[in-house]
Structure 1
Amino acid sequence: MKGHFITFEGVEGSGKTTQMAILGHALETRGYPVVRTREPGGTKIGDAIRSLILDSKNQMMDAKTEFLLYLASRAQHLKEVILPALAEGKVVLCDRFADATYAYQGYGRGLSKREIELIGRFVTGGLSPDLTLLLDIDVKKGLARLKGREEINRLDQEALQFHESVRKGYLNLAKRNPRRIRVIRTDAGVEEIAKKIKEAVDDYFRVP
């Protein structure tokens, strides 16, 4: 029994966490077994790696080190959480996956996009989300939303140009993968955004 793999992507402050929670609740109400998870993290080992990556004290971290840490977390995440859940026929909702690596480390850090894809495929075994919801917001607006957070992590502190490059990477991916990646603008209110996401998810489930 094949499950469904749905990912949420977007720059900082795009509202992924909120919208993923809303969708998860809606799907459970309709009788779907749902697993909510995130990257980096999702496992005990992955959470330890997440702390290392996002720690503001690690400003000297090399881009390649960062890239490989993300992939290490993903490998463990796939083994412990994602693949078992999909094998059981569950709906896996994941806050970021491989698209984030392409956008952040490829466009943001300037690492080779070809190598990111090749090494990334080694880790995922070719697994790709069935549907990706790209929550798109102007970078300045997204970063402004972070002011309410208790803690600002290492990536949050990057220069505006870094985040602009990440957004460009995401939108480029969406153009290359229009059937899988649905771009949802997050300028509207929470309920309106949730409605658009519901429509995208309903379209996905209607297609055999």
Structure 2
Amino acid sequence: MNPAFDGWLPHARRYDSPYCDARPDPADITLLVIHNIALPAGRWGGPHVSDLFTGRIDYNADPSFADLRGLKVSSHFFIRRDGSLLQYVSANARAWHAGVSSFRGREKCNDYSIGIELEGSDFAPFEVPQYEALGRLTLALCRHYPLTDVQGHEHIAPGRKTDPGPLFDWEYYQNYCNDLLKEKAAADPSLVSAIAGLRFVKGLLQSQ
């Protein structure tokens, strides 16, 4: 972990969330968790996701929002359908995105993970600009954190969560990361070693 990095990416649009706190071990950031979200469900655009993550949502804006009352949730990042990147919590801090969860025998995934929300649902394919933004974000985070694994919310909270869902193309995402790495390898050889052992949900090494 780079001690000089404050956890905020300069190319992301920043909206500070109150729903975060300090990590138990700031050096223990090894997991990326991929989610999907849309408010209202199945509808893209609008301010509601950002409003939810920053505690400003108008519960009267849609009947379905009544179920969100009292919910204190956030994510580090949100990638819209057009690939634009928003950030709500410093990656150095603990965002409240995973809930009850476990990975490789470790519970409380919020403690050691970075959460990335994609604008979407389990029932619609994601857009190419989203995969591209996610790939760039993955490599950027690997420069600063000792990441070892990328999982879906459904994999760390099975039976409770289903996102990013069956239409998220893990192979496309992994291949795009590989392509980016090939482009940047000569200019940034340290990135190659940083990402070489990254395991995607299928258990494959990023370099395979």
Q: TM-score range by the shorter chain?
A: 0.3 to 0.5
**So what's the TM-score if we normalise by structure 1?**
0.33
Q: Which has the higher helix share?
A: 1
The higher-RCO structure (CA 8 Å, 6+ apart) is 1
